[in-house]
Amino acid sequence: MKFELEGDALWLLKTFSWPGNVRQLRNVIECLIIRSGGQAINAIQVQQVLREQNEQGLNDQGSPAQQALKAEE
């Protein structure tokens, strides 16, 4: 499937640290393509997907304080 990234969206994807490595990048791009409906993907859409994934990660792993507490146990 073809898709188009606006320049600012591409910049965000290039500069993000990708703690989940290639798997996370692939998931974000797949999500963006599905949501774009054939339209160009912009920075707002990228930010929204990254924010949602971050929130999901916190829900799965707990808050940073909860993670530290688990590490101490």
- Domain hosting residue 20, numbered range: 7-72
56 domain residue, yes or no = yes
2 domain residue, yes or no = no
How many structural domains is the chain composed of? 1
The tens digit of pLDDT for each residue in 27-71 reads 999 999 999 999 999 999 999 999 998 888 766 655 444 444 455
Report d(CA 50, CA 13) in Å as an integer: 10
34 domain residue, yes or no = yes
What's this model's pTM, rounded to 2 decimal places? 0.72
Residue 56 structure tokens: 């999901």
pLDDT band at 19 (very low <50, low <70, confident <90, very high): confident
35 domain residue, yes or no = yes
1 domain residue, yes or no = no
